Amino acid sequence: MHYLLTYRSLTYAQRAARILERAGVTGTLSRVPKDAAKRGCAYCVTVAPRHRDRALAVLRGAGLSPERVLLRHDDGTWEAVSP
Protein backbone atom coordinates (compact mmCIF):
# COMPACT_ATOMS: atom_id res chain seq x y z
CA MET A 1 0.00 0.00 0.00
CA HIS A 2 1.30 3.48 -0.84
CA TYR A 3 0.14 7.00 -1.57
CA LEU A 4 0.21 8.69 -4.95
CA LEU A 5 0.51 12.47 -4.87
CA THR A 6 -0.73 13.45 -8.33
CA TYR A 7 -0.01 16.39 -10.64
CA ARG A 8 -1.31 17.28 -14.07
CA SER A 9 2.09 18.54 -15.15
CA LEU A 10 5.29 16.54 -15.32
CA THR A 11 7.26 19.66 -14.39
CA TYR A 12 5.33 20.12 -11.14
CA ALA A 13 5.67 16.43 -10.29
CA GLN A 14 9.42 16.58 -10.91
CA ARG A 15 9.78 19.61 -8.68
CA ALA A 16 7.73 17.92 -5.98
CA ALA A 17 9.94 14.82 -6.12
CA ARG A 18 13.10 16.93 -5.86
CA ILE A 19 11.79 18.97 -2.95
CA LEU A 20 10.85 15.81 -1.09
CA GLU A 21 14.27 14.34 -1.77
CA ARG A 22 15.92 17.46 -0.34
CA ALA A 23 13.67 17.16 2.71
CA GLY A 24 14.76 13.56 3.22
CA VAL A 25 11.43 12.05 2.18
CA THR A 26 11.74 9.12 -0.19
CA GLY A 27 9.41 9.48 -3.16
CA THR A 28 9.36 8.00 -6.64
CA LEU A 29 8.28 9.92 -9.71
CA SER A 30 6.07 7.99 -12.11
CA ARG A 31 2.99 8.20 -14.29
CA VAL A 32 -0.43 7.91 -12.69
CA PRO A 33 -2.12 4.56 -13.44
CA LYS A 34 -4.54 4.97 -16.33
CA ASP A 35 -7.66 4.07 -14.37
CA ALA A 36 -6.74 6.59 -11.67
CA ALA A 37 -5.88 9.49 -13.94
CA LYS A 38 -8.90 11.76 -14.21
CA ARG A 39 -8.10 13.45 -17.50
CA GLY A 40 -5.56 11.37 -19.32
CA CYS A 41 -1.83 11.47 -18.76
CA ALA A 42 -0.72 12.68 -15.35
CA TYR A 43 2.23 12.21 -13.03
CA CYS A 44 2.68 11.38 -9.40
CA VAL A 45 5.14 11.04 -6.60
CA THR A 46 4.71 7.78 -4.73
CA VAL A 47 5.38 7.81 -0.98
CA ALA A 48 5.08 5.24 1.76
CA PRO A 49 2.22 5.68 4.26
CA ARG A 50 4.63 6.63 7.03
CA HIS A 51 5.88 9.58 4.92
CA ARG A 52 2.49 10.88 3.79
CA ASP A 53 1.88 13.62 6.35
CA ARG A 54 5.42 14.96 6.25
CA ALA A 55 5.47 14.87 2.43
CA LEU A 56 2.23 16.85 2.24
CA ALA A 57 3.48 19.39 4.77
CA VAL A 58 6.74 19.89 2.86
CA LEU A 59 4.91 20.25 -0.44
CA ARG A 60 2.36 22.64 1.01
CA GLY A 61 5.21 24.78 2.33
CA ALA A 62 6.75 24.88 -1.14
CA GLY A 63 3.49 25.84 -2.81
CA LEU A 64 3.36 22.49 -4.59
CA SER A 65 0.36 20.74 -3.03
CA PRO A 66 -0.70 17.82 -5.20
CA GLU A 67 -3.89 17.92 -7.21
CA ARG A 68 -5.09 14.71 -5.57
CA VAL A 69 -3.90 12.16 -3.04
CA LEU A 70 -4.66 8.56 -3.91
CA LEU A 71 -4.26 5.52 -1.71
CA ARG A 72 -3.24 2.57 -3.82
CA HIS A 73 -3.76 -0.83 -2.29
CA ASP A 74 -1.51 -3.82 -2.86
CA ASP A 75 -4.09 -5.41 -5.16
CA GLY A 76 -3.87 -2.39 -7.51
CA THR A 77 -7.18 -0.81 -6.51
CA TRP A 78 -7.11 2.76 -5.33
CA GLU A 79 -9.19 5.38 -3.60
CA ALA A 80 -9.01 9.14 -3.38
CA VAL A 81 -8.32 10.41 0.12
CA SER A 82 -8.42 13.86 1.62
CA PRO A 83 -4.99 15.50 1.58
Partner 1 sequence: MIYLDSAATSFQKPAAVAYAMSRALRTMSSPGRGGYESAMAAADTLLDCRLALADLFCVKDPERVVFTSSATHGLNIAIRSLVRPGDRVVISGYEHNAVWRPLHGIGARVDVAASPLFDPDAALGAFRRKLPGAAAAVCTQVSNVFGFILPVDRIAAACREQGVPLIVDASQGAGGLGLDFDRLGCAFAAMPGHKGLLGPQGTGVLLCGTALPAPYMYGGTGSVSDQAEMPDFLPDRLEPGTHNVPGIAGLLEGVRWVSRKTPAALLAHERELLAALSELLAGDGRVRLFAAREPSCQAGVLSVQFRGMDCEDAAAHLAARDVAVRSGLHCAPLAHRTAGTQREGTVRFSFSPFNTLREVRDAAAAVKEMLA
Q: Which residues bind partner 1 (CB under 8 A)?
A: 8-12, 14-15, 18, 29-31, 39-43
Terminal Cα-to-Cα distance of the chain (whole angstroms): 16
Q: Which is nearer to partner 1, 28 or 77 (CB)?
A: 28
Report CA 44 to chain centroid distance, whole Å.
Answer: 4
What residue spans of 1-83 are helical by DSSP H? 10-22, 52-61
Give me the least distance between CB of 80 and partner 1, in Å please.
Answer: 17
Q: Which is nearer to partner 1, 31 or 73 (CB)?
A: 31
Give me the least distance between CB of 68 and partner 1, in Å please.
Answer: 13
